[in-house]
């Protein structure tokens, strides 16, 4: 299996010292490019044997062994010698960590089985490196604590004042960091609020665009029906559908225009109720109630759906006087035995604050459903 391994190096490697730029015979397939002192080698390797694995592991193992010996010898030193040794060990730890990172990069370009072996070894090396780091920290911390105790025992009043000043400086620095953290939190909250406002604005724009598209589509459908002559047929079903289409999209103006184009003799209960509901959902509750008055004046038949729409509008504006009159009209027309308008009337009384009337209406209802009981529970 031919494996393509790409190795990038900015260090002067021994291999590069031994090979000239024009060399072309490195395991039959090697190409060297040297722009701006950066050497990139692309090598086609056939397989990757145990010797290659050992070659990758050798520098890391050697570095970890040397660091382990140096760390063990640190405990036997004291004073400046120990500090110098600790600094030397820390430098070695950084170099070992760089070697491990390099080995990690090289391992990820190998065959899966070899990569798995190397990655397992890498985990062991990283664990050993962390243990060495912790050991160095422990030794350094122990020496620091011992030095602090010695200094505290030997220090006089002047040293005590100096220590207090240092503590004060540290407290001031901590306070400054806390203030900076608070400022960052406030800035983050400001960005969050601005993002939220932007999101709301985008949603509003999308809603407006959606409404525009729906309006354009509705106008197209309406125009198609008109040009086909279907709207002139005596049947009212298609006209009701188009009116409901405008009302469902919240296009009050288009719905009203179509409603006015219908001859007064051909307007049925569905037309009046649909436009009334469109007014109510569009926030034009007063116009909806006025339309109900005009509907009664024209002698159009009122059904239970119309009553539900009127009671719902009265609930929105809190017009209990108009609602009571509509309730009387409902009783007069014999619709008080219908469950839906009865529930709507009871809900209107409750939302207008007339709890007693709502309870009385519930007791007088011959048919009740879940909505009836739910409204009654809300009244209580």
Let me know whether 127 and 238 are in one domain.
no
Let me know whether 147 and 261 are in one domain.
no
Let me know whether 143 and 277 are in one domain.
no
Task: Please state, as a whole number, how many other Cβ atoms lie within 10 Å of the Cβ of residue 82.
Answer: 17
In a domain, 221, yes or no: no
CB 285 within 8 A of CB 300: no
Distance CA 308, CA 303 (A): 9
Let me know whether 134 and 277 are in one domain.
no
Quickly state the pLDDT bin for 345 (edges 50, 70, 90): confident
Last residue of a domain, one of 137, 154, 171: 154
CA atoms within a 13 Å half-sphere pointing along the CA-CB vector of 165: 6
Let me know whether 112 and 9 are in one domain.
yes
Let me know whether 6 and 141 are in one domain.
yes
Rounded to a whole number of angstroms, the CA Rg of the chain reads 43
Quickly state the pLDDT bin for 8 (edges 50, 70, 90): very low
In a domain, 214, yes or no: no
Quickly state the pLDDT bin for 170 (edges 50, 70, 90): confident
CB 231 within 8 A of CB 239: yes
Dihedral of alpha carbons 361, 363, 364, 368, sign: positive
Distance CA 134, CA 108 (A): 28
Element (H, E) at 39: strand 39-46
Quickly state the pLDDT bin for 15 (edges 50, 70, 90): very low
Pairing state between β 39-46 and 2-9:
antiparallel
In a domain, 319, yes or no: yes
Q: Mean pLDDT across the stretch 341-356? A: 85
CB 289 within 8 A of CB 310: yes
If one compares 143 and 58, the residue with the highest pLDDT of the two is 58
pLDDT exceeds cutoff 70 at 195: yes
For the chain, the domain total comes to 2
Let me know whether 255 and 365 are in one domain.
yes
Let me know whether 10 and 125 are in one domain.
yes
Last residue of a domain, one of 95, 120, 154: 154
In a domain, 275, yes or no: yes
For the stretch 276-329, pLDDT in tens is: 888 888 888 888 888 888 888 888 888 888 888 888 888 888 888 888 888 888
Distance CA 44, CA 26 (A): 10
CATH number of the domain to which 21 belongs: 1.20.58.400
What the block records as the tokens of 125 is: 């090396």
In a domain, 191, yes or no: no
In a domain, 206, yes or no: no
In a domain, 37, yes or no: yes
pLDDT of residue 31: 34
Domain extent for 109: 2-154
In a domain, 55, yes or no: yes
CATH number of the domain to which 314 belongs: 1.25.40.10
Last residue of a domain, one of 121, 154, 187: 154
């Amino acid at each position: 299996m031919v494996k393509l391994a790409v190795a990038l190096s900015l260090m002067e490697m021994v291999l590069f010292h031994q090979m000239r730029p024009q060399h072309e015979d490195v395991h039959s397939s090697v190409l060297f490019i040297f722009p701006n002192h950066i050497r990139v080698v692309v090598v086609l390797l056939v397989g990757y044997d145990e010797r290659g694995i050992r070659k990758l592991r050798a520098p890391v193992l050697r570095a970890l062994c040397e660091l382990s010996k140096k760390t063990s010898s640190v405990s036997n030193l004291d004073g400046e010698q120990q500090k110098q040794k600790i600094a030397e060990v820390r430098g070695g730890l950084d170099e070992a960590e760089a070697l491990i990172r390099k080995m990690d990069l090289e391992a990820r370009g190998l065959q899966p089985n070899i990569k798995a072996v190397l990655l397992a070894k890498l985990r062991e090396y990283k664990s050993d490196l962390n243990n060495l780091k912790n050991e160095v920290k422990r030794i350094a911390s122990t020496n620091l604590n011992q030095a602090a105790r010695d200094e505290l025992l030997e220090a006089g009043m002047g040293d005590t004042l100096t220590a207090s000043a240092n503590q004060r400086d540290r407290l001031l620095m901590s306070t400054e960091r806390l203030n900076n953290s608070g400022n960052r939190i406030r800035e983050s909250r400001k960005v969050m609020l601005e993002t939220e406002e932007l999101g709301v604005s985008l949603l509003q724009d999308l809603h407006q665009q959606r409404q525009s598209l729906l309006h354009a589509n509705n106008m197209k459908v309406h125009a198609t029906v008109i040009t086909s002559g279907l709207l002139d047929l005596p049947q009212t079903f298609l006209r009701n559908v188009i009116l409901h289409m405008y009302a469902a999209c919240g296009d009050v103006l288009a719905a009203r225009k179509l409603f006015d184009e219908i001859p007064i003799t051909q307007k049925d209960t569905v037309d009046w109720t649909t436009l009334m509901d469109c007014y109510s959902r569009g926030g034009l509750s007063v116009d909806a109630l006025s339309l109900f008055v005009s509907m009664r004046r024209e002698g159009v038949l009122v059904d239970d759906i119309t009553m539900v729409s009127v009671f719902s509008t009265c609930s929105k504006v809190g017009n209990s006087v108009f609602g009571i009159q509509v309730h009387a009209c409902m009783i007069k027309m014999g619709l008080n035995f219908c469950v839906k308008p009865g529930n709507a009337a009871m809900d209107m009384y409750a939302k207008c604050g007339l709890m007693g009337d709502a309870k009385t209406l519930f007791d007088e209802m011959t048919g009740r459903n879940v909505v009836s009981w739910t409204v009654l529970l809300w009244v209580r």
